[in-house]
Amino acid sequence: MKKRISAMLLAAVACLPTISLFTGCAQKGETVLRVYSWEEYIDEGGEDSYDGTADAPDMVSRFEAWYEETYGSPIRVEYSTFGTNEDMYNQLKLGNEYDLLCPSEYMIMKLAAEGYLQPYSEAFFDETNPDNHYIRNVSPYIHAMFESNRINKADPESTETWSDYAAGYMWGVTGFTYNPAYVNEEDLRSLGWDVMTAEAYQNKVTTKDNVRDSYFVALAILYKEEIAALDPTSPDYGKQLAAIMNRTDEETIAAAEEVMQAMDENIFGYETDTGKADIVSGRIWLNFAWSGDAVYAMDLAEAGEDEDGNETDSTLLNFFIPEECANLWFDGWVMPKGANTQAAEAFVNFLSMPENAVRNMYYIGYSGVIAGDEVFDYVCETYAVDPEEYESEEEYVVYDLSYFFGGSDAPQGSYTFYADRDQAERRQLHAHYPPYEVTRRCAVMDYYGEEANENINELWSRIKGETLEPWAIAVICVGVALIVGAVLLVKFGGKIDFFRLPPKKGYTRVKQEDFKKYPNDKQNPV
């Protein structure tokens, strides 16, 4: 109960802007679907959309129209957005109710471990139903990953997988955008994640201002040799890799702290969104980036525009995924307990229609989890080239995306197209749909569990916080105490006889009480 009251107080105080004042005034017979997702993470229509016309409707209104047509009853979507997974978690914890959320993989695992989630219905996975667009169109690669990973690692008994609770939305990898004018690609390949601590790149590389991404880099540097010793042909390769990249024991944290300290001393800084502008302007050479952001930055730099649409010089940026191991991340749709599962599942299915998946991908620039021929056509439309236009065979490659569009049992080469070699090996295509060899070397970062999380957050505060020797703290404290003492002396010293100079010879000091005896000035003996 105590918890409830404090949560209510906080909800009243801290979250006023996010509480919709209009909830509860739904018309009779109208269903309300409350969706809570990332900012700018869905097609918002208009001229910037795939359709390109000013009156192109946004995805949410498309859904509302489609739902009414299909199910014969009106629906209204209350779509709100968050900026970080933690913000979303706090809102949920405060008791705000939603039907559908779109957090990242580790947050999905945390929510599952804490029992917040409602599983998808069995009917949702019935491939024979033509309305089940998600299961019919999801990439076999993503689906296999969702089927084979346990969602609740805190409970060793649990056999539930990601698929039980989550439907994928967007996915990608991490790497570096770099400016080839300053960075030698060969050098970069030989260094891998070590560029973070390499002296040659001192003050020229940035990392993300969040603990999970930086910790992952530290582990990749720390266990470089162990990872290299793994056998990539072994069927357990992925599991072994993931086990190494999710270590959170005390020894690992202590060793990672040293690496992160070295990174802290070497890097230009931590950023969340200044990196794009800084690399375009040449201020930094390498920027740790999520693949979707990297595509966006490369597009902007190439077009010679900054984020506000102003013209700048056109710069060529490349994308590099370190060979040791990269982080594979995804965001997925999950339903909190008490959600309207029918409407929520309908929303996910609607977004999973290939034409809608293409619209969302086009608008936000990330790669969706939906495969299907329309999506493949879209990829070809964007990246396929005509080999006859090239003078040399060196300049183009056959790009094979069968792993993503066809799955492991699809015949090799069933989803291939000619692509520019630069695009395939180091530019937008490389980031958008990484080659199979790259994805094999990727590991998903799990939810570490309550205790390990706490330890890693403390590690982060030690890296980010300032460090002073204990004697320095003591000296400064004494200094502050002296200043405080001096000010107090000025303030009150006059009232305490001890601090006052003795009166001159022949004078006596009038006491405070004497004044009180003669309230009228004229009677005052002084």
Partner 1 sequence: MRLRFSRKMLGIPYAVFLLFFVIIPMLVILFYAFTDKEMHLSFENFIRFFSDPTKLSTIVYSLVIGLITTVVCLVIAYPVAYILARSKMKKKFVILLLFVTPMWINFVLRVNAIRELLNWMGLLGEANYFNTIFGMVYDFLPFMILPLYTTLLKIDESLYEASADLGGNAFTAFTRITLPLSMPGIASGITMVFLPSMTNYVVSDMLGNSKVTIIGKFIYEYFGTNWHMGSMVALVLLIVVLLSTWLTGGLKEENNARGTTL
- Point out which residues bind partner 1 (CB under 8 A): 2-3, 6, 9-10, 12-14, 84, 86-87, 90, 203, 206, 209, 264, 267-271, 274, 281, 283, 453-454, 457, 460-462, 464-468, 470, 472-473, 476-477, 480, 484, 487-488, 490-491
- Give the nearest distance from C-beta 179 to partner 1 in angstroms: 15
User: In sequence order, which ranges of 181-287 are alpha helices (DSSP H)?
Assistant: 185-191, 211-222, 224-229, 237-245, 250-266, 275-280
Answer whether 149's CB lies under 8 Å from 306's CB. no
- Give the nearest distance from C-beta 470 to partner 1 in angstroms: 7
Q: How far apart are CA 15 and CA 35, in angstroms?
A: 17
Q: How far apart are CA 300 and CA 510, in angstroms?
A: 80
76 versus 93: smaller Cβ distance to partner 1: 93
What H or E segment, with its residue span, contains residue 368? strand 367-368
Q: How far apart are CA 319 and CA 288, in angstroms?
A: 10
Q: How far apart are CA 38 and CA 40, in angstroms?
A: 6
Answer whether 434's CB lies under 8 Å from 416's CB. no
Answer whether 173's CB lies under 8 Å from 442's CB. yes
34 versus 212: smaller Cβ distance to partner 1: 212
Q: How far apart are CA 496 and CA 498, in angstroms?
A: 5
- Find where tokens 């990246």 sit: 383
- Give the nearest distance from C-beta 492 to partner 1 in angstroms: 8
- CB neighbours of 19 closer than 8 A, spacing ≥ 6? 11, 96
Answer whether 349's CB lies under 8 Å from 71's CB. no
- Give the nearest distance from C-beta 380 to partner 1 in angstroms: 40
- Give the nearest distance from C-beta 149 to partner 1 in angstroms: 24
- Give the nearest distance from C-beta 288 to partner 1 in angstroms: 13
| Rounded-to-10 torsion of CA 184, 244, 445, 175 | 0
The amino acid at residue 189 is R
What H or E segment, with its residue span, contains residue 138? none
123 versus 480: smaller Cβ distance to partner 1: 480
What H or E segment, with its residue span, contains residue 417? strand 416-420
77 versus 456: smaller Cβ distance to partner 1: 456
Nearest CA-CA partner of 437 in 384, 387, 399: 399
265 versus 388: smaller Cβ distance to partner 1: 265
- Give the nearest distance from C-beta 172 to partner 1 in angstroms: 22
- Give the nearest distance from C-beta 12 to partner 1 in angstroms: 8
2 versus 516: smaller Cβ distance to partner 1: 2
Rounded to 5, what percent of the chain is helix, strand, coil?
50, 15, 35
118 versus 274: smaller Cβ distance to partner 1: 274
14 versus 65: smaller Cβ distance to partner 1: 14
207: which DSSP letter?
Answer: E
Tell me the two tokens of residue 308: 């506000």
- Give the nearest distance from C-beta 472 to partner 1 in angstroms: 8
- Give the nearest distance from C-beta 220 to partner 1 in angstroms: 21
6 versus 148: smaller Cβ distance to partner 1: 6
- Give the nearest distance from C-beta 50 to partner 1 in angstroms: 31
DSSP count for the chain of H helices, then E strands: 24, 14
- Give the nearest distance from C-beta 25 to partner 1 in angstroms: 24
Q: How far apart are CA 180 and CA 422, in angstroms?
A: 12
Nearest CA-CA partner of 220 in 319, 318, 327, 145: 327
110 versus 432: smaller Cβ distance to partner 1: 110
| Rounded-to-10 torsion of CA 286, 291, 292, 294 | 20
106 versus 415: smaller Cβ distance to partner 1: 106
243 versus 476: smaller Cβ distance to partner 1: 476
53 versus 457: smaller Cβ distance to partner 1: 457
- Find where tokens 């129209």 sit: 65
- Give the nearest distance from C-beta 507 to partner 1 in angstroms: 24
- CB neighbours of 381 closer than 8 A, spacing ≥ 6? none
